[in-house]
Structure 1
Amino acid sequence: AASRDDAEITKGRSEVSSIRSSIVLKRSQDLMSGGGANPAALDSAASDTPGALLFDEVLDYGIPAGASSGKWRKTGTNEYSFNLSGTWVAFDYNATTGRFNCTDPSSQGCLDLTR
C-alpha cells in the first residue's frame, strides 16, 4: 500500500517536473517572439509569505506557499524549498541557465523529487 510519504513524493516530483517544463516553454515562447531569454523570475512573491502564489510567472496556476508537509516556500530570490515529510529540500532557480535544481543534488530528498 502507498503511504502518505509516497503521495508527497509523487506530488512534489510532479510539481518539480511541471515547473521545469514551464520554464522551457516560456523560453521557447520568448524565442518565437524574437527573444530567447529564460524567465527572469518564477514569481514575484515575497520570501516566507504563507499563502503567496509561487511559480505563477511560469505556471498557469501558481502553487500557494505553506509550511506543512507537501508544501513549497520561497526562501529568497529564486530560492525555494519543498517540505518532504518534515524535511525541507532546497531548490534554486538560475535565470541564466534556466535550471531549477536542488542545492544538494545528492540528498535523498532531492533524489526522491527529481528522479
Structure 2
Amino acid sequence: MKKSAFTMIELVFVIVVLGILAAIAVPKLAVTRDDAMISKGRSDVAAIRTGIVSERQARLVKGEHSFIAPDKLSVNKLFDGVMMYGITAGTGDGHWSGGGTSYTYKIKGESNVFTYTQATGKFECTSGSYCSKLTD
C-alpha cells in the first residue's frame, strides 16, 4: 500500500517561503495605509475649500460680501456649513477634529493643524509635517 504525504522538508520549505512573502508584504501594507490617509485628507481639504468658495458665491448672489463665519462652518458635524454631508469628528489617524477657526487632521499620530480665516476665506495648513502632502 502506497501512502502519499508531504515530507518534513517540503513543509519547512513552504513555511519559509510564506515567511519571506509575509516579511515583504506587511511593510508594503503599512505604507499603503498611510498613503490612503493622505489621499483622504487631500480629498477632504479640496472639498472643504470648494465648499467655502461655493458658499461665498451663494452669499454674493444674495448681496452679502463676506465669507462664512467660523461658528457657522461646523454646526452639527465638521464643515456641514459648506459641505452637503459634514465630517464626523474623531481622534484617531485619518480623522478630523476641532471647530471654529482651527481644525486638526491626524496622520501617523501627528496632528496637522488647519486654520480658517474668515476675512480671506482661506483654509490653510499652518503646522504639521504632512502639510505639503495634504495641500499641494
Range into which the TM-score falls when normalised by the shorter chain: 0.7 to 0.9
Root-mean-square deviation over aligned CA pairs: 1.5
One of 89, 92, 108 as aligned partner of 2:129: 108
Map 1:15-34 onto structure 2 (within 5 A).
Answer: 15-34=44-63
Larger radius of gyration: 2
State the identity %: 41
Is residue 63 of structure 1 aligned with residue 87 of structure 2? yes
1:42-53 equivalence runs, <5 A: 42-44=73-75, 53=77
| Greater share of residues in helix | 2
Match of 1:54 in 2: 78
Distance, in Å, in 1 between the alignment partners of 2:96 and 2:61 is: 31
Distance 1:77 1:114 in 2: 20
Q: Distance in 2 between matches of 1:96 and 1:43?
A: 17
Q: Deviations over 1:15-52 (max 9, x none)?
A: 0000001000000011011112100021136xxxxxxx
Shift in Å at residue 77 of structure 1? 2.8
Amino acid at match of 2:74: D
Structure 2: where are the runs of 5+ without partners? Answer: 1-27
Q: Structure 1: which 4+ aligned runs deviate by more than 3 Å?
A: none
Count of residue pairs the alignment pairs up? 105
Q: What TM-score results when the alignment is normalised by the length of structure 1?
A: 0.85
The TM-score normalised by the length of structure 2 is: 0.72
